[in-house]
Amino acid sequence: MERRTFLTTLAGAPLAAAPQPVRASLVRWTRDEATRLYTQAHCGGTPLVYRGGWGLLTARVKPEGACQVSLAHRLLRSGRGGEDILEAELTIRNTSSEQRTLEVSFATSAHPTEAYGRERAHLPFTAGAHAVLRCLGKIETLDCDRHIGRPGENAAEFSADYLEPFSSEPAVTDVRRMLLIPLADIYHPEIPWRIALFASPLRAWCVAATSQPRGEGGWKFTTKIVVPPGGEVREKCYLFVHEGDAPIAWRAFHEFAFPDREPRPGWLQNAHVHYYDFLGPGDDGRRGAGYDLDAAHFREFHVAMATQHGYYPVLGDYLKPGRDRWMAMASDLHGACEMSVENMRARVKATRASGTKAAIYLHTAGFDSASPYAAALRDSQLTYADGKTYPYAWQGPETVGELWHMSIASQPWRKHLLDQARNVMELIGPDAIVLDETFGGLGYDFHRDRRGPLSPHMIGFLRDLRALVRSYGKDKALLTSDCALASFAMWADGEGGDHAYGSLLGNELYRKPPVRYMAALGARRWLPCAWQFTQFWKYQMDLAHKTGAGVGVSNGWIEYTGLHRLHPKVRARLIADIETLAGCRGAVS
């Protein structure tokens, strides 16, 4: 499958079925009949393991002897020709009466060729830094295509982290480099085959390339595993030999390491335009009327989903049974805006009448201390390494008190968010919930009762939230807002975050093919928000044509024209561009 075709598949666009010729097996495997483990593989006569002390795909457990361990190999088929994936499954049994904490590594000395000095790897790094992620240290926006060479001989050792490093190495808190998924696609510029190594995204991994002049070395995936007394844990790692570029490996990752069997709403897979309203102003400049004025243009702009944001009295306290009316945007210079359940329902009805799905906004970690819930949730604030709490990095027109930075590791906070989501579904009945700044689910909480990484709690929370949303109908959707700074969309139906900034969408590396965030999305839909939608329009269209992602239009933040106040020439240009996206032209009248 060609890269452009595969990227379109990842983005959820329909593909015409085409017969594919049956291809001969790319790789020939050699198995040790005594151990039943595979020890060597050949491609085109080239041995993949040469001067490597770690073998084809092995596992190591430290401390040795703490538990019973066994390793099994199995060959799998990616569908690209023969058995081309080696699965290693490690079984760990704790026969003692005490909990065991182990360092587990999967390692390989396999390389595409013996010419190690020019070896490269494509690694799906996250898109860089954000103030909310400061506890992880300095995170740079890196080129995903990287020279690896021969560490210790012509290059330095390389390492990167998937999720917080504290989870895989308890002595480490600052990230070295951060990955969207635990995968390395290893290649040589002049060799047609590649070797991809990947593992489950449910654990944190340190991914490293290392070697010593004496011959030891290769690639290693390391994690920490806790085995309860009398318990058993199984963990897998995969070695995939393939032709083609990195998206081929990403597809195998989503099929074998993290298959998502939950069907996603069909309407979302065919969506191309996301409208976002932050209680945008009407013609008099006062907030609140923008949504209604823009809704008249939803068909014209082929808007597939419209999200209501800013509707609440204070951030984190969204809707409450019995609270039928309230004042929103209380700190806006031009005055607060009266909102009501009735008004929000009316907007949902008008949105659907335009052939558009209706979504409602929630936030992952922001909570205004002016809420009546503040006393009960005070202890749910995120605690930093210095033992202090700090305000969330936002001070907007809806902020009344101090904006607290809440911890997803706190059970009361998770319950509060789930209760708020339930209120939204019960009182408003939208088609989707968009959860903002989900990358805030990365990091640490140093609270005395919650010390540790946030991501395990975030993953569990998203599973619960998605199940709650789906309980109101199989066509209901949950969208994250990772902005390629994290990969929590893997536990949702798609991505709807705002990335229209110079450090993200405006950065050429962010849009460089193969586009990194597609590694995490798989076949999930990318329907971004874009507050600076006209400023970054050419970049939005560039990304859409490269990946099949949608584009964002908006009102109420940075750009205040919305749809109804756009200059006629700008309106015509945007609509013409939108109609170049698959499925838009002629979709609505």
Tell me the average pLDDT across 519-539: 98
> Residue 61: in which H helix or E strand, if any?
strand 58-62
If pLDDT is split at 50, 70 and 90, which confidence band does 4 have? Answer: very low
CB neighbours of 27 closer than 8 A, spacing ≥ 6? 41, 42, 43, 48, 82, 83, 84, 193, 241
Residue-wise pLDDT for 261-286, tens only, equals 889 999 999 999 999 999 999 989 99
Q: DSSP for 499-567, please give it.
A: --STTTTTSHHHHPSSPTTHHHHTTSEE--B-TTTTTTHHHHHHHHHHH---EEEEESBSB--TTTTS-
Confidence of residue 167 (pLDDT cuts 50, 70, 90): low
Three-class secondary structure of residue 204 per DSSP = coil
More confident residue, 18 or 77: 77
Q: pLDDT digit string (tens) for 102-115?
A: 999 999 999 999 99
pLDDT over 70 (residue 10): no
Band (pLDDT 50/70/90 cuts) for residue 169 is low
Confidence of residue 246 (pLDDT cuts 50, 70, 90): very high
How far apart CA 344 and CA 342 sit, in angstroms, is: 6
pLDDT tens column, 319-329: 999 999 999 99
Mean pLDDT, residues 187-207 taken together:
97
Residues 6+ apart with CB under 8 A from 76: 83, 84, 85, 86, 87, 238, 256
Q: Give the orientation angle of helix 568-578 with respect to helix 537-547, to 10 degrees.
A: 10
Average pLDDT of span 198-208:
97
Average of per-residue pLDDT values in the chain = 93
- What average pLDDT score do residues 539-553 get? 97
φ/ψ bin of 156: left (φ > 0), alpha (ψ from -120 to 50), beta (otherwise): beta
The full 3-state SS of 263-300, as one line of letters, equals CCCHHHHCCCEEEEEECCECCCCCECCHHHHHHCCCCC
Q: For 255, which DSSP code?
A: I
Contact between residue 247 and residue 546 where contact means Cβ atoms under 8 Å apart: no
Region 406-428 average pLDDT:
98
Higher-confidence position of 589 and 163: 163
Q: How much of the chain exceeds pLDDT 70, in percent? A: 93
Residue 47 has pLDDT above 80, yes or no: yes
**What does the alpha-carbon distance between residue 442 and residue 408 come to, in Å, rounded to a whole number?**
9
Judged against a pLDDT cut of 80, whether residue 222 lies above it is answered with yes
pLDDT at residue 428 in the model: 98
